[in-house]
């Protein structure tokens, strides 16, 4: 009977560990997608930048309503990248800061507070 109870605790830990891995994996995927989007924006801006004589390009003013949108989108993606990177770092740091504990000591749950809003 005690083995069954011990197995239940182990099963709960495995489910929690799987959830943890899933969360970290999703966050890492989001970071990669955000970085890909940032590269796409950089490419789009580079394509719109006049090639050739930079001195001539510096003297030309192009009234473009798309580039500011790119700049704003890029800034928001950069902020998202930083926030998601920090979230991944905090999750990984939480695991490693336990100095080798496996999370079964009851300290695995920490309060979660949502920051920001949509």
Is residue 85 over pLDDT 90?
yes
Q: Is residue 16 part of a domain?
A: yes
Q: Is residue 81 part of a domain?
A: yes
Token code pair at residue 2: 């005690």
pLDDT, tens digit, for every residue of 26-83? 999 999 999 999 999 999 888 876 665 555 556 666 656 678 889 999 999 999 999 9
Given the structure tokens 């990248």, which residue do they identify?
A: 81
Q: Is residue 19 part of a domain?
A: yes
Contact 104, 13 (CB under 8 A): yes
Split at pLDDT 50, 70, 90, the class of 95 is confident
Q: Is residue 10 part of a domain?
A: yes
Looking at residue 2, what DSSP letter applies? H
Q: Is residue 12 part of a domain?
A: yes
Q: How many domains does the chain have?
A: 1
Q: Tell me the CA distances in angstroms from 86 to 60, 74, 81, 90, one per residue in order.
A: 40, 18, 8, 6
Domain that holds residue 31: 2-96
Contact 74, 42 (CB under 8 A): yes
pLDDT, tens digit, for every residue of 15-32? 678 889 999 999 999 999
Q: Is residue 111 part of a domain?
A: no
Q: What is the pTM of this model?
A: 0.59
């Amino acid at each position: 009977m005690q083995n069954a109870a011990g197995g239940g605790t182990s099963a709960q830990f495995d489910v929690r560990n799987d959830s943890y891995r899933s969360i970290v994996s999703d966050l890492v995927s989001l970071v990669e997608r955000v970085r890909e989007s940032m590269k796409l924006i950089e490419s789009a801006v580079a394509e719109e930048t006049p090639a050739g004589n930079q001195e001539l390009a510096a003297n030309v003013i192009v009234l473009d309503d798309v580039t500011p949108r790119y700049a704003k989108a890029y800034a928001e993606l950069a902020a998202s990248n930083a926030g998601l990177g920090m979230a991944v770092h905090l999750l990984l740091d939480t695991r490693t800061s336990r100095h080798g504990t496996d999370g079964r000591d009851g300290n695995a749950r920490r309060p979660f507070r949502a920051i920001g809003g949509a």
